[in-house]
Amino acid sequence: MDRLDNTIRPYAWGSTTAIPRLLGAEPTGEPQAEMWMGAHPGAPSRTPRGPLDKVIDQAPERELGDRAVARFGPRLPFLLKILAAGAPLSLQVHPDLEQAREGYQDEERRGIPIDAPHRNYKDTNHKPELICALTEFDGLCGFREPGAAADLLAGLGVDSLKPYVDVLHAHPEEAALREVLTAVLTADPEDMARTVTEAAAACARLGGAYAPYAGIAHHHPGDPGVIAAMLLNHVRLQPGEALFLGAGVPHAYLNGLGVEIMANSDNVLRCGLTPKHVDVPELLRIVRFEAGDPNVLRPEASSDGEEVYDTPIDEFRLSRYVLPEGAAVRDLTRSAPQILLCTAGTVRVGEHVLGPGGSVFVPADEKAGVSGDGTVFRATVNA
């Protein structure tokens, strides 16, 4: 069992205070967006035995277990993060496995360099993800019903949005959402910038249900993603609640601190709220134009106190233990790799004492008992 020393990524949208506050550290004044825990080659956790990806490479069966290697190959199939959004992330969607393989092979055939800014597919894997709120957490997830989206846009009183309102009222769900998103992302940039500016002013004036979109427009003035975002459901998670984002579901995180887990992939198709490449034709191939309410997850408790966030994904499984003072030691030994993360209080895992933000990697079949007075998130595989 290895204590992890983890990299904090300074993406521009990151909060300057949330991760330092969790860690009990002084803010640097720079954004601290994500703390990565795992073996992703972009920022592998450091251990006393070396970088975690190299540790696993040297003995994958020992570290991951035979079953996990047989199912996912000789690599850790998930990445765990603490995510701190101080500004909206890009509006985005992820492919399913078949789409990822097709997209990757196509870009390889066309000779697009893996690090090219217009490259969509960095690997052949899908990227389902789960975000669990540690504080109040705002996000966008999935399409609104077309009628509800039409009413929201109509309420702004912006003449240039009326054609979108009419389409949303007149066409069946899939066709309406597809036509409007396509029109927004392919509109003349200058015309769209004027529309967004006018819509943003109306959002700020109206407040209420429009307030999140005024905030988005403040960070991304003139971006067509502001109008695209209004087609999506706004959701506010309370601490302990979670969202699962499957393939094809457009989403964005807006503000808050959370624990995120995902399949080990970098495949992202962006819809807006970003200066990065937006590949509209490929995006439209990936997006699922289906409306519905966000499925807010609450953990299901088992007899030993483990609270599991149920997801239909083999690559990861996230749960937590809220340990009261004086509770008996929980045996977390499992024939699969695990990362244990403390987010509150003080807990002991084997010989390691963890405070908020502390984490350990537990190899398959390694004895793992946890005790203390605090909250521990458990990341492992779901197979």
- Which residues are known catalytic residues? 270
Whole-angstrom distance, CA of residue 97 vs CA of residue 95? 7
In degrees rounded to 5, what are phi and psi of residue 26? -80, 135
Helix ranges restricted to H, 171-292:
173-186, 189-206, 211-219, 225-229, 280-286
Read off φ and ψ for residue 218, nearest 5 degrees: -60, -40
Residues 63, 71: contact at Cβ < 8 Å?
A: no
Please count the residues of the chain. 383
For strands 296-297 and 91-93, give the pairing.
unpaired
| Contact (Cβ atoms closer than 8 angstroms) between residue 132 and residue 309 | yes
Task: Check: CB of residue 200 under 8 Å from CB of residue 214.
Answer: yes
Q: What is the dihedral of CA 12, 17, 19, 20, to 10 degrees?
A: 130
Q: Which amino acid is at 237?
A: L
DSSP 14: B
Residues in a beta bridge with 338 = 362, 380
Q: What share of the chain is helix, strand, coil (3-state, %, to 5)?
A: 30, 30, 40
